[in-house]
Amino acid sequence: MAVSITLKQTQSIQPDNLFRVIDEVTASTDISKYIFVFTAETQAFSHVATVYDIEHIVDTTYAAVLISGAEYYRLAVVQKDYETQSRAEAFASYTRSRTETLVGDYESFLDGFEGITTYVYPEA
């Protein structure tokens, strides 16, 4: 399968010298576009999803998680503000890198299960 994610990253300087990073998945192929994991208790961003998260965290709105009682939910957009440019740049780099890793891992997940493998065990 050809897993892909289109990530739009917007960086800006806000009043009071806050450095803002907004990451938004604008398109995806063969994978959910809801890749940003948030905690239900605080509504705070937790991390970019893993393959396990994509397959097991089903709620994609805060309202849904209130009904289900789950610990986490996923969204297609995350916004983070930082007081220093270096921390904002580190976050921007983190989300790009983790998104790239997720695409590769998810493609391996989809393609890696099917097939025939022959195992040969020699006598002991």
Q: Hey, CA dihedral for 52, 54, 56, 61, is it positive or negative?
A: positive
Q: How confident is the model at residue 2 (pLDDT cuts 50, 70, 90)?
A: confident
Put simply, whether the predicted model's pTM sits higher than 0.75 gets the answer yes
State the Cα angle at 30 between 24 and 33, rounded to 5°.
20
76, 5 contact by CB (below 8 A)? no
Nearest-angstrom CA–CA distance, 124 and 122: 6
CA 89 to CA 54: how far, in whole Å?
A: 26
pLDDT confidence of residue 23: 97
Taking alpha carbons only, the member of 81, 78, 57 closest to residue 69 is 57
Answer yes or no: is pLDDT of 115 > 70.
no
Q: Is the pLDDT of residue 1 over 80?
A: no
Half-sphere exposure of 124 (CA within 13 A, CB side): 0
CA distances from 23 to 6, 8, 91 (A): 10, 6, 10
